[in-house]
């Protein structure tokens, strides 16, 4: 996938209250979880990705460091960042399959309360941010 195509798939919102590096991490994880990014796929370079997303290269570097720490990517010095070959995608899919009914129930209940999709997204982002701070 080219840098431009990859950048087009990312939906970063600087006004969401969620740090941009966390949003980028979540987008890459989502790409892995959905199969858009596969083990061995090379990610764009930090500078190129930062340029495409109009963000600070240090922010991209921070996201890459965290993703490497979590085992999602492997950084090969001189070669770039790659989706980890050791990543057990079936385990990720299993966890998602278990969580999906819980999320579906929560979304249905939130909609019954009259929340819009955008309100629900903001609420979820705020909860995730609050939980990551604790």
Q: What is the 3-state secondary structure (H, E, C) of 49-66?
A: HHHHHCCCHHHHHHHHHH
Q: Give CA 37 to chain center in angstroms.
A: 11
Q: Where are the domains of the chain?
A: 3-83, 89-133
Predicted confidence band of residue 126 (pLDDT cuts 50, 70, 90): confident
Encoded tokens for 95: 């966890």
SS3 (DSSP) at 74: strand
64, 83 in Cβ contact below 8 A? Answer: no
Classify domain 3-83 at the CATH class level.
mainly alpha
Q: Which residue has the tokens 């057990």?
A: 88
Encoded tokens for 108: 């249905």
pLDDT score for 3: 44
Statement: the pTM of the whole predicted model exceeds 0.75: no
Q: Give CA 88 to chain center in angstroms.
A: 17
Give 63-112 pLDDT, tens digit per residue. Answer: 999 999 988 999 988 889 999 988 766 776 777 788 889 989 999 999 99
Which residue spans within 38-124 are E strands per DSSP?
73-76, 80-83
Instruction: Give residue 54's region: left, alpha or beta (phi > 0; psi -120 to 50).
Output: left
Give 19-51 pLDDT, tens digit per residue. Answer: 999 999 999 998 888 888 888 999 999 999 898
């Amino acid at each position: 996938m080219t840098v431009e195509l990859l950048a087009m798939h990312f939906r970063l919102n600087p006004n969401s209250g969620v740090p941009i590096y966390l949003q980028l991490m979540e987008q890459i994880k989502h790409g892995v979880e959905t199969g858009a990014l596969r083990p061995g796929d090379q990610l764009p370079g930090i500078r190129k990705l930062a340029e495409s997303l109009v963000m600070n290269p240090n922010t991209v570097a921070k996201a890459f460091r965290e993703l490497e720490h979590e085992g999602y990517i492997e950084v090969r010095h001189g070669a770039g960042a790659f989706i980890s070959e050791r990543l057990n995608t079936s385990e990720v899919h299993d966890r998602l399959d278990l969580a999906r009914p819980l999320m579906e129930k929560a979304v249905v209940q939130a909609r019954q309360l009259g929340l819009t999709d955008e309100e629900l997204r903001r609420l979820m982002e705020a909860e995730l941010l609050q939980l990551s701070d604790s």
